Structure 1
C-alpha cells in the first residue's frame, strides 16, 4: 500500500440519512463549507481537521466512530 492510500471510509452520508439532515443543513449548523463536507461525504478527503470533526460530531450528536470506519486490508 502506498503511503498516500488509506482505508478510512466516511459514513457521513449514512449518518446524515439516519438524522434526516441534508448537507446544506449540516453546513449551516457547523459553519463548514458545502465543498469540504461534500469531499468528506463522498470519501475523497485525504485528511480531516479535529476541529472540523468536532463541529460535525456536535451537530449530528455522534462520535467520530459513528462517522468513520476502516476497510479491511486487501
Structure 2
C-alpha cells in the first residue's frame, strides 16, 4: 500500500518542477497564480506530465490559468484519493 499523497508533497514537487523551468523560487508562494508566473505552455505541459507520472492524476492545462500553486496541489491530492 502506498503512502497517502499530501498537499505539502505535491506543492514541493510543483515548486521543484517550476524552479527547474526557470521560475524564480521567491515567486512560488502558495498563493501564486499560474497565470502570474513566467511559464510557457511547454512548462505547463511538463508539469502536468510530471503530476500524472508521480500521482496518476490528470489535471487539464486550461485549469491552470486562474489557480494558485496551493489550489493545484489540493486538486491533485483530491484526484489521487479517488
Regarding TM over 0.5, the answer is: no
Scaled by the length of structure 1, the TM-score of the pair is 0.40
Larger proportion of helix: 2
Bigger Rg, structure 1 or 2: 1
